[in-house]
């Protein structure tokens, strides 16, 4: 019985530690900060966009749909939407999209860094290199 309790406490602690690690970033930029820096100029800090120019991400069905479809827009760009594949890391993209999918009333599951990394492979978009070793000519 006591052993069980200890196991239980350890498991709870491990889970908390995992959450804390996922939330903390070396540069202190969370999803909101990354969104404000990279996306809000067009989609607005409110996520409501500008009608006729920049689509609203708030209350957007596509944004809350299949996570890899949403990430594809960031990795490949689309129309007036820039391609962020060389300026944002897989962790940045997963952090921003997890924020966007769960803010302003949106209620969709987060996206992991590993999913973004795998998606680059599928889309044949170069792995993130921090702009240092791009072999694009």
Tell me how far apart the alpha carbons of residues 45 and 9 are, in angstroms, rounded to a whole number: 40
31 binds ligand HEC (CB under 6 A): no
Q: How far is the CB of 85 from ligand HEC (least distance, A)?
A: 11
Q: Give the position of tokens 């999803």.
A: 31
Count of alpha carbons within 13 angstroms of residue 112, beta-carbon side: 4
Tell me how far apart the alpha carbons of residues 71 and 125 are, in angstroms, rounded to a whole number: 12
* Contact residue for ligand HEC among 22, 29, 30, 54 (CB under 6 A): 54
> Among the candidate windows 11-19, 25-33, 60-68, 115-123, which touches ligand HEC by CB under 6 A?
60-68
Tell me how far apart the alpha carbons of residues 114 and 98 are, in angstroms, rounded to a whole number: 13
110 binds ligand HEC (CB under 6 A): no
Q: Which residues make up the interface to ligand HEC (CB under 6 A)? A: 38-39, 41-43, 54-55, 57, 60, 62-63, 70, 73-74, 78-82, 84, 96, 100
């Amino acid at each position: 019985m006591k052993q069980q309790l200890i196991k239980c406490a350890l498991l709870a602690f491990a889970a908390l530690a995992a959450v804390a690690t996922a939330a903390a970033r070396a540069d202190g930029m969370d999803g909101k900060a990354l969104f404000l820096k990279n996306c809000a100029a067009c989609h607005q800090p409110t996520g409501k966009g500008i009608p006729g120019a920049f689509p609203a991400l708030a209350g957007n069905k596509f944004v809350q749909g299949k996570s890899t479809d949403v990430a594809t827009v960031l990795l490949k760009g689309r129309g007036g939407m820039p391609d962020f594949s060389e300026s944002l890391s897989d962790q940045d993209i997963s952090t921003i999209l997890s924020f966007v999918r769960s803010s302003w009333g949106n209620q969709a599951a987060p996206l992991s860094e590993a999913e973004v990394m795998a998606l680059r492979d599928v889309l044949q978009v170069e792995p993130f290199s921090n702009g240092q070793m791009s072999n694009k000519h």
